[in-house]
Structure 1
Amino acid sequence: MPGAPAASVRRSPSFLWLWGGQTVSVFGEQFTGLAVPVLAVTLLHAVAWQMGVLGAASTAAFLIVGLPAGAWVDRWMKRRVLILADVVRAVALALVPILWFAGVLQIWHLIVIVAIVGVASVFFDVSYQSYIPLLVQPTQVGSANSTLEATAQVARIGGPGLAGALLTVVSAPVLLIADAISYLVSVLSLLRVRDHEVPADPTLRQPLHREIADGVRFVWGQPLIRSISATTATSNFFSTLAQTIYPLYALRELGIGSLGFGITLSAGAVGGLLGAVATPRLARWIGEGRVIVVSAIAYGLVFILVPVASLLHGPAAVVVLSAGEFVTGFMVLVYNITQVTMRQRLCPPRLLGRMNASIRCFVWGVMPIAALISGAIAGGIGLVPTLWIAFAGGLGAAVFVLFSPLTGMRVLPTELDAQAQVTPEPESGAPGEPTPEGPGPSDPAPSAD
């Protein structure tokens, strides 16, 4: 992929602080990712519809405040937004063990706290993706994304497995303390970061609805981004359909226990790590546009292993689920790194926050809807049939990038091409012109961007 080698990015002290803080924070998030569903299923005895509400609460903020968050982030200093979001998340998660030890924790408490964390995450994620191009050189954006994702996957490898092991000796609420602490570590790291961001000129401000419309218009008017957003949103919808009931499926239907559950998540992280490392080479070998298409199709195909695991139990089920998670993690990271880098290279700096927020609102906004539908469907027809529906829909999600200019692109548009694509004439931004041949769970979920 275009850009300086990762080593050059690592010479920046500010990038190193950001990198270190986020590595610790992502590791802490693995405890929450396992502890919250285990807490809901085993200690609070949540049923399918309650798991649906819990899943919806975690992502509803992207649908509710996603668009205005982008406009606000473009007005504010992004590092300050990152710090404030981490503080809010740390305080909110610390409430769970406090309520638990007080003997008053109920499922609705968990839903409200998860929703608060979700709102803070909206502002953090929009600022985070918009901050990278401001912190490093333009040619280093791809390298910075690969470095951050690779180390995040390292954290995700050990986190779920360790969390699953710890859950055999400590209660789930205790693990949330670790994530709260990790957010505070991120705050301390961000306080050491130095950047050259200039406050937005207040005289250039427009009414909020117009600024939001600018971001939506850019996303809709950019054919490559539009195709990617459609695939990502569809994939996220059906992935969430499965992920919402996955803890019930793994813990009750298959009976693999919290340790086995954590092992499957760690396998996905191992695949993600290898995917992050392999992305630059795959992009050069297959082509930047084509690798997005290939990874989207492969992700949809491999999901079949999740419902197939219902034919097995115990260690055999863990092996099959882990294999599926491994390949899924690999393909998701290849897809995410390539398409996020493309978005950052295509978008004018003044629209970065609104562009990322518009996409997040669309591709993550479907997730709370899918979570609610998942709980209803699983309660009506069962867990396994719901997973088969998720497989069919997830595979179909790739159609938007398959029948797009991405299939013929070895090289995606550069930053200079992006400047031409913001002109008002619709034909001047045609995605194929700048290229030699002419793209989850922020993105197929999980971990969709």
Structure 2
Amino acid sequence: MTDPGRRDVFRIRGFPAYWASYTVSGFGSYVTVLALQVLVLAQLHGTAVDVGLLNAARWLPYLLFGLVVGALVDRRRRRPLLIGSDLGRAAVLLAIPALFIADALNIPVLLVIVAVVGVLSLIGDAAAQSLVPRIVPRSALVAAHARTDQSDAVAQTSGPVVAGAIVSIVGAAFALVVDAASYLFSAIAIWRVNVDEARAPVAQRVGLRREIADGLRWVYRHRMLAPMAIGSHAWFFFNSILGTVFTSFALLGLHLSAFQLGVALAGAGVAALLGSSVSLRVGRRWGAGVAVIASNLIMVVGWTVIALAPGTLTTWAVVVVLAVGQGFYGLGLGLSNANEMGYRQAVTPDALQGRTNTTMRSANRAMIVVGAPLGGLLATWLGYRPALWVGVAGFLVATAFLALSPFRTARHEADEAAA
């Protein structure tokens, strides 16, 4: 691979196909996120607690199998794993509308299906994140993630709106066909990626337990990665509370329709596109640490706006307020992700990419497994707005931790490669 420096990453062989896969499957995933929550609340007559359980089921496999999968991914070629996981997710998602037609779909069955999709997503995510540094030189990782973040922002903008429209016309269960089709496209796109991948030589392999331990030590003993990981875990915990409460707050508390909720969520996508467009410049000028910390503060502003949204306004006025709050949230996400992911991958050796990715993701998703049901319980016990304030306070604590840690000085140069 040639080092493109700062030139367009789309000139790197293999990246356009990977980007297309990421973009289309991301669009389908945003459709599914909204459709599943509407399916639980509106068609299966669930509660905020059920929405929390749905989110927990989606990420439970990361908690149970994440570290093992990360070690196994580092032993194998990532591209075939990603293709297989895409095809598997397409097939499993199609079971939801089929069961709905047969009048055999209920919340327990849905939770099992979502958990199976979660297992396949765990494999696919570990393979995808570990594949990127094989396609893109380390010097271009932040630029590559900025590009995928931009496309993700477009998907985040259009996905919920499309999902809301489809749900309003044909019902939530059938909206999942869009995501199944997106995974089929993704598998074809990844199949077209031509990348040099070599398995770890058998002679260099150690026991699976040792490999898992090596991944844990790399993350949690690294001067910069350790505080970044802990701050990320806290962020995911409180974000899962906020995300669970927000959907129930909008649909049940503010009485929005699925389409109106989709429009409100689209605000995050529009702003995320802006954030991802400037994330590379912000990270290079002020450093990865400052960029991530500032983005967290911007997200706090967004959730504060949402928590203060008055219920006395007209329905569409409420949608506008929520969209503004989601806009601040999306702006923060757009600024943060490329800097955090690019920094983490740049300082991590290729042999540890899979384990580092799944160590982080497993712990982060474990936070969702706990936080999402807790968000539903807090909404039930305290009410929607007090539960939102709990999440806002948690975001502030997580941000303060990062601001006081060595990670605040993290920069994208490779001088932090040594722990």
Q: Is TM more than 0.5 here?
A: yes
Shift of 1:255: 1.1
- Paired position in structure 1 for 2:67: 67
Where structure 2 has 5 or more consecutive residues not aligned to the other structure, the ranges are: none
Instruction: Answer whether contact 1:254 1:310 (CA < 8 A) is retained.
Output: no
Alignment coverage as a number of residue pairs: 416
Shift of 1:104: 1.4
Where structure 1 has 5 or more consecutive residues not aligned to the other structure, the ranges are: 422-428, 430-449
Shift of 1:139: 1.9
Give 1:288's aligned amino acid: A
Matched, 1:17 2:28: no
Q: Greater CA deviation, 175-184 or 390-399?
A: 390-399
- Paired position in structure 2 for 1:248: 248
- Paired position in structure 1 for 2:84: 84
Matched, 1:404 2:409: no
SS at 1:105 equivalent: coil
- Paired position in structure 2 for 1:434: none
Instruction: Answer whether contact 2:21 2:186 (CA < 8 A) is retained.
Output: yes
Inter-partner Cα distance in structure 1 for 2:151 and 2:384 = 34
TM-score (norm 1): 0.89
Identity among equivalent pairs (%): 32
Inter-partner Cα distance in structure 2 for 1:30 and 1:51 = 16
Matched, 1:376 2:377: yes
- Paired position in structure 1 for 2:328: 327
- Paired position in structure 2 for 1:286: 286
Shift of 1:137: 2.1
Inter-partner Cα distance in structure 2 for 1:320 and 1:417 = 42
Per-residue displacement from partner, 1:251-298 (whole Å, max 9, x unpaired)? 110012111100111110111111111111222343333222211222
Q: How does 1:378-393 map to 2 (within 5 A)?
A: 378-393=379-394
Q: How does 1:23-422 map to 2 (within 5 A)?
A: 23-313=23-313, 314-409=315-410, 411-414=411-414, 417-418=416-417, 421=418
Instruction: Answer whether contact 1:3 1:143 (CA < 8 A) is retained.
Output: no
Instruction: Answer whether contact 1:301 1:395 (CA < 8 A) is retained.
Output: no
SS at 1:361 equivalent: helix
Give 1:69's aligned amino acid: V
Taking only aligned residues, the RMSD between alpha carbons, in angstroms, comes to: 1.7
Inter-partner Cα distance in structure 1 for 2:129 and 2:382 = 39
Give 1:78's aligned amino acid: R
Inter-partner Cα distance in structure 2 for 1:6 and 1:108 = 50
Distance 1:241 1:233, change over 3 A: same
Per-residue displacement from partner, 1:113-146 (whole Å, max 9, x unpaired)? 1111111111111111111111122222222111
Q: Greater CA deviation, 370-379 or 119-128?
A: 370-379
Distance 1:34 1:198, change over 3 A: same
Per-residue displacement from partner, 1:190-249 (whole Å, max 9, x unpaired)? 111110111111222211111000000000111211111111111111111121232221
Per-residue displacement from partner, 1:137-193 (whole Å, max 9, x unpaired)? 222222211111111211221121122122221111111011101100111111111
Distance 1:213 1:317, change over 3 A: same
- Paired position in structure 2 for 1:432: none
Shift of 1:97: 0.5
Shift of 1:303: 1.4
TM-score (norm 2): 0.95
Inter-partner Cα distance in structure 2 for 1:310 and 1:112 = 37
Instruction: Answer whether contact 1:235 1:397 (CA < 8 A) is retained.
Output: yes
Distance 1:250 1:3, change over 3 A: farther
